[in-house]
Structure 1
Amino acid sequence: MAATVTRPALMPDGTDREFRVFVHELLAFADRLTSVRAGFAARIGLPGAAYTLLIALARLEAEAPGIAALAAHLHVSTAFVTTEMARLQRLGFVQKRPHPSDGRRVVLSVTPAGRAALARLAPVQAPVNDALFAALDADDFRRLATLLPRMVADGDAALALIEREDAA
């Protein structure tokens, strides 16, 4: 079988075997991470994506983020954020108001109901997250936290390559 990578850094033994194992382990972890997110979300009656937006907004709220800022933070489209925010608004978890100095923008905030829902999760989140990332010590965590944004950007570049191939 042809190698699935060509970069020597990804082929320490001259083959793509370790790389393939790495990708499969990464996919397995991603599945578990998605399942944990779904578990948290279900506890407050949300789909996983809406939960991600709600918790991200709660963490960024002091910065008065709008749709574009939240989309950039989560590496998703503004259309996706708009759709999910409408859902969260209907559920009473999020409030939208006009930006005080730019009428084209909105400022998003978590409502008291949204805060209460997230507070109900706190006793579950800490032990679950501790277990999910138990393999990481402080140095591992910092290194991974530094690498992941670069890997997301690399993922965007890889998707662009696939899209170019599909268009050809």
Structure 2
Amino acid sequence: MAATVTRPALMPDGTDRPFRVFVHEFLAFADRLTAVRAGFAARLGLPGAAYTTLIALAHLEAGQPGVAALAAHLHVSTAFVTAEVARLQRAGFVHKRPHPADGRRVVLSVTPAGRAALARLAPVQAPVNDALFAALGADDFRRLAALLPRMVADGDAALATLHAEDAA
């Protein structure tokens, strides 16, 4: 088979086999991460994307985030966040109010019901997350946490390359 990568850093033995194994393991982990997210979400009666939106909002809330800030944090479109926020509003977990200085914007916040739901979930999250990331020591975690934003940007560049190939 033809090599699927050309960068020497991704071919430590001169072949793309280690890269392919890495990608398959990465995908297997991503599947488990998605399943864990779905399990957390189900405990709140939400789909996975809504849960991710809610938990991200809870962590960003001190900065009075709006739709754009939440979308940037999650690396998704504002239309996606708008739809998920509407779902969370219907569930009673998120409140949306006009921005005090700019009437065109909104400020998002987690409602008391949303906070209570997240508080009930935390005792489940901690042991599950500890198990999910048990392989990481402190240095591994710091390195991976530093790499992931760059990998997300690389993912965006890879998608742009793929779309350019499709357009050609």
The alignment's TM-score, normalised by the length of structure 1, stands at: 0.99
- Post-superposition CA distance 1:76-96 (Å, at most 9, x none): 000000000001001110000
Three-state SS of the structure 2 residue aligned to 1:96 is strand
1:87-143 alpha-carbon deviations (Å, 9 max, x no partner): 100111000000000111000000001001101101100000000000000000000
Q: What's the counterpart of residue 43 of structure 2?
A: 43
One-letter amino acid of the structure 2 residue matched with residue 2 of structure 1: A
Compute the RMSD of aligned alpha carbons: 0.4
- Structure 1, gaps ≥5 residues long: none
Quote the residue 2:86 is aligned against: 86
Q: How far apart in 2 are the matches of 1:79 and 1:89?
A: 15
State how many pairs are aligned: 168
Amino acid aligned to 2:23? V
Aligned amino acid, residue 28 of structure 2: A
Match of 1:28 in 2: 28
Cα deviation code 1:33-76 (max 9, x no counterpart):
00000000000100000000000000110000000000000000
Counterparts of 1:135 and 1:112, CA distance in 2: 35
Residue type matched to 1:84 in 2? E
**How far apart, CA to CA, are the structure 1 residues paired with 2:134 and 2:80?**
32
**1:3 aligned partner:** 3
Amino acid at match of 1:33: L
Distance 1:164 1:27 in 2: 24
The amino acid that maps onto 1:166 is D
Distance in 2 between residues matched to 1:93 and 1:144, nearest whole Å: 31
Using the TM superposition, give the Cα deviation of residue 165 of structure 1 relative to its aligned residue in structure 2, in angstroms: 1.0
Task: Give runs of ≥4 in structure 1 deviating > 3 Å.
Answer: none
Structure 2 alignment gaps of length 5 or more: none
Secondary structure, counterpart of 2:102 in structure 1? coil
| Post-superposition offset of 1:144 | 0.1
